[in-house]
Chains A and B, each alone.
Chain A
Amino acid sequence: MGSGTAVAERAVAFPGSVREALDLLAARPDATVVAGATEVMTLVNAGTMIPSCLIVIDRVAELRGVWFADQEVVLGAATTCADLMHSDVRGMLPALGQAARAIATPGIRSRATLGGNLLSGKRSGGPTAAAPTRDLLTVLVALNAVAVCRSADGWRQVPVLELYARDGGVDLRPGELLTALRVPMSGGPQGFMKVGTRAGGARPLVTFALAADLPARTVTCAIGGFSPAAVRVDHAGQWLAEHVDWENGAISDPTTYPRFARLIAEGLVVPGSAGPAGWATAAVPQEYRERAAEVCARRALVRALPPAGWLEQVAEYQRRAEFLRHRARVDRAERGLPAEPPVPVQESGFGGGRGE
């Protein structure tokens, strides 16, 4: 607490830990918490935001990195998009790696963080944000991720969509910090597709993520990019799960691909009902958006579920998971990074607890 009040006078603070950051946030409730600051700086450069105090958390080691546990992958909130493109993440969560690679440009990916991507844009009850850019949210929704928040009162864990209010604005409580995302392990192919206003780094028109769980024989998919928050498309996922030949891990009827794509496009919510799409993409006609969603869904499914034997695939994913888990643990130890992710000790599957 002493450190918090001492630094409270300063306009820029660099907390060394989550606890310090929370103390600072309690001392300066008006402060802007930034990691990469790429979203905040676009607003500041445009003159729509004047920060009174910056809490810079991009050097908090607790918040940065990826932890591979037995049943889940824990992603630190201040992990950059460039880190998410690492081959370990791509191997375990291919859709997330693809989504991170599709975000913006190398110069921005080296700074922009996972937490910043999720918490950017519209605030709850606030004005319309420039454009919905939460590409990673689409993947995390499809993967049933759980957001872990920390405040002075303790931990709060909610499904990632509950971070947002009904209008799609960020609904983080005052004095609360998003520390990590827990993604349950699903052994199976995943796919991600994005259509933007041009090929390079661009605001998305539609983002689509699909994750098949081979052992559980379920498919989850989510669509986003046209509204502030992504949405799960459960009816399409359930329909698809009935049409997958799980014994062979393949889709035997080729007409399944266009039918699934049609199902996704027809369920596309009109932007007006889910919140304004923003300046950059509002002029795009709805037919084009539906067409883009259809193409995204079809391609993602074709890439995720090509004909192949499912038993071999399950074994392959388990083998790869075991290998990555081991290597990542050794790698973290060698680099002197914290072994424990920023999640409560009791519920995590990690041995050896770090006290609260």
Chain B
Amino acid sequence: MSEPGVHEPGVHEPDVHEPGAPDPSAVEWATAGYELTINGTAQPVADAWIGESLLFVLRERLGFTAVKDGCGEGECGACTILMDGQPTAACLVPAAAATGRAIETPELHAVPQPDPVARALAAHAGAGCGFCLPGIGMEVRALLERNAKPSAAAIREALSGHRCRCLPPERFIASVDEAANALARERAQAQAQAEALTQTELDAQAQPLRESQVMTSVNFARVPAQGTGPDRQVGDHGQTGILR
């Protein structure tokens, strides 16, 4: 979003200069240019201070403002993103070190059309201020990716790093349950559709496949001739399943 060169190093000066901290005017601000892969798109970042967090770069330089800036020390979870599918606190990752990682921000899943997780969070936890929701959404997506039907304890543990000051945890457990059910329904539908599609495709391709089947059978027919297996393996080598 912001052009290179506009950025002033002074932005990073701490508000309160602590006694142990280095004097910001005396140090050299090392910069680097790199490329981040965000939501599947390469995003070049030029001439950025190497101490900038991924959170800062996402929000201030690239405009992914669904990632929220809460505490800056990994306590609140509002800045959670997915890096290579793992939930990660963006405020504690140097942006330069995230090169080559697949980064997913809430925009990928909730803009413009909300996915089941975002819909469930809006339905059950929409009464709060909403500041923590993008981060919780990313954590929930990672949770549902590895555990399609999480227990209440698993949900509590997964969301332990997210501070919500508005709503009780039960709202989030309910929304994760609903999202899990919605995703299961979607998967079942998609599978039914794929099966119907495969069936029609298979019907169309049935004839050529049977011809190739004959060829394979001929090859396999040699195996029992060498005395390594019984004859009934000929038609039973796994590929027949496709034709059913």
Could you list which residues of chain A lie within 8 angstroms of chain B, going by C-beta atoms? Answer: 10-12, 14, 34, 36-38, 40-42, 44-54, 56, 58-59, 82, 104-108, 110-111, 127, 199-201
Contacts and interface: CB of A to CB of B under 8 A. Distances in A.
Contacts of B139: 106-107
A312 B50 CA distance: 55
Nearest to A46: B14
A121 to B, nearest CB: 14
A150 B130 CA distance: 48
Given A37-B94, A82-B86, A47 B21 contact: yes
Given A37-B92, A107-B74, A50 B160 contact: no
A53 B17 CA distance: 22
A41 B92 contact: yes
Contacts of A12: 32, 34, 50, 94, 96-97
A56 B53 CA distance: 14
A82 B158 CA distance: 12
Interface string B7-34: 0000011100110111010011111101
A47 B92 contact: no
B41 to A, nearest CB: 21
Contacts of A199: 160
B168 to A, nearest CB: 15
Q: Could you say which interface size class chain B belongs to?
A: 35 or more
Contacts of B97: 12, 34, 37, 54, 56, 58
Classify the interface of chain A: helix, strand, loop or mixed.
loop
A199 B21 CA distance: 31
7 contacts: A12-B50, A42-B74, A45-B91, A54-B94, A54-B97, A127-B20, A201-B161
A51 B48 CA distance: 13
Given A38-B92, A45-B73, A106 B160 contact: yes
Interface stretch (B75-83, B108-116, B180-188, B201-209): B75-83
Interface of B: 12-14, 17-18, 20-22, 24, 27-32, 34, 50-51, 53, 72-75, 77, 80, 83, 86-89, 91-94, 96-97, 99-100, 139, 142, 157-158, 160-162
Given A37-B94, A37-B97, A105 B14 contact: no
B88 A110 contact: yes
B161 A104 contact: yes
A46 B50 contact: no
Nearest to B14: A47
Contact of A44 (B13, B53, B100): B53
Nearest to A38: B92
Contacts of B94: 12, 34, 37, 40-41, 44, 54, 56
Contacts of A11: 30-32, 50, 96
B21 A200 contact: no
A263 to B, nearest CB: 32
A33 B67 CA distance: 27
B32 A107 contact: no
A12 B17 CA distance: 26
Contacts of B53: 41, 44-45
Contacts of A58: 97
Interface centre among A10, A14, A46, A47 (most CB of B within 10 A): A47
Given A12-B97, A54-B97, A201 B75 contact: yes
Contacts of B80: 107
A51 B50 contact: yes
Nearest to A200: B160
Given A50-B51, A111-B88, 12 more contacts: A11-B96, A41-B53, A42-B72, A45-B91, A48-B18, A105-B162, A106-B139, A106-B157, A107-B88, A110-B87, A110-B88, A199-B160
A55 to B, nearest CB: 10
B108 to A, nearest CB: 17
